[in-house]
């Protein structure tokens, strides 16, 4: 069975980190929600939702919750703020999860994988960056 790229845990973690919620936090101190990788050099550390909660509503106690846990619906429309690299150093920016999940790498056309050892908010970007020997651009 293929690994799920987008889990309910990741969706719920994104709901807790709306656009700009990490402003002012030093980049290496930002908590990582998910890590995706592929090919020889692609890596993407998801840090917060960048889609302005298009797929969320206000839930109990004012917390934002997904309007649907249908991963395909959210994946189709989700933009995230992340640190990503294609082998030349990490840089911060927004990216569409749909585009990330559609990436294919030569020579065999393999796709992106999710690092299942990374749980939402368990590690900082600095910790994971050092663990995987990844530098900033």
Whether 25 maps to a domain, the answer reads yes
32, 49, 25: which is closest to 125 by C-alpha? 32
The answer as to whether 121 is a domain residue is: yes
Amino acid 55: pLDDT:
52
Mean of per-residue pLDDT scores for the chain: 84
Q: Please measure the distance between the N-terminal and C-terminal CA atoms of the chain and give it in whole angstroms.
A: 36
Contact 50, 14 (CB under 8 A): no
Q: Is the pLDDT of residue 128 over 70?
A: yes
Average pLDDT for residues 69-83, to the nearest whole number? 68
Q: Which domain holds residue 78?
A: 8-131
* Mean pLDDT confidence for 72-85: 76
Residue 38 located in a structural domain = yes
Residue 72 lies in a domain: yes
Q: Smallest Cα–Cα separation from 66: which of 81, 51, 86?
A: 51
Cα separation, 112 vs 104, whole angstroms:
7
Q: What is the pLDDT of residue 1?
A: 45
Q: Is residue 137 assigned to a domain?
A: no
Is residue 60 situated within a structural domain?
yes
pLDDT digits (tens, 9 = 90+) for 13-25: 888 888 788 889 9
| Mean pLDDT in residue range 87-100 | 91
Q: What's the pLDDT score for residue 60?
A: 59
> Residue 83 in contact with residue 42, Cβ under 8 Å?
no
DSSP 78-129: -EEEEEEEESS-BEEEEEEHHHHHH-EETTTTEE-EE-TT--TTTSBHHHHH
Give domain status of residue 29, yes or no.
yes
Q: How many domains does the chain have?
A: 1
* pLDDT for 58 beyond 70: no
pLDDT: is 33 or 67 the higher one?
33
What confidence category does residue 73 fall into, taking pLDDT thresholds of 50, 70 and 90? low
């Amino acid at each position: 069975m293929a690994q799920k790229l987008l889990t309910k845990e990741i969706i719920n973690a994104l709901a807790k980190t709306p656009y700009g919620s990490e402003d002012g936090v030093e980049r290496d101190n930002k908590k990582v929600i998910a890590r995706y990788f592929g090919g020889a050099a692609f890596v993407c550390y998801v840090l917060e939702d960048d889609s302005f909660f298009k797929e969320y509503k206000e839930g109990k106690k004012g917390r934002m919750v997904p309007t649907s846990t249908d991963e395909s619906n959210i994946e189709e429309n989700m933009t995230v703020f992340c640190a990503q690299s294609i082998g030349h150093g990490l840089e911060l920016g927004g990216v569409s999860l749909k585009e990330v999940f559609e990436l294919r790498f030569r020579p065999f056309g393999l796709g992106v994988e999710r690092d299942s050892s990374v749980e939402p908010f368990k590690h900082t970007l600095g910790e994971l960056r050092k663990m995987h020997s990844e530098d900033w651009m």
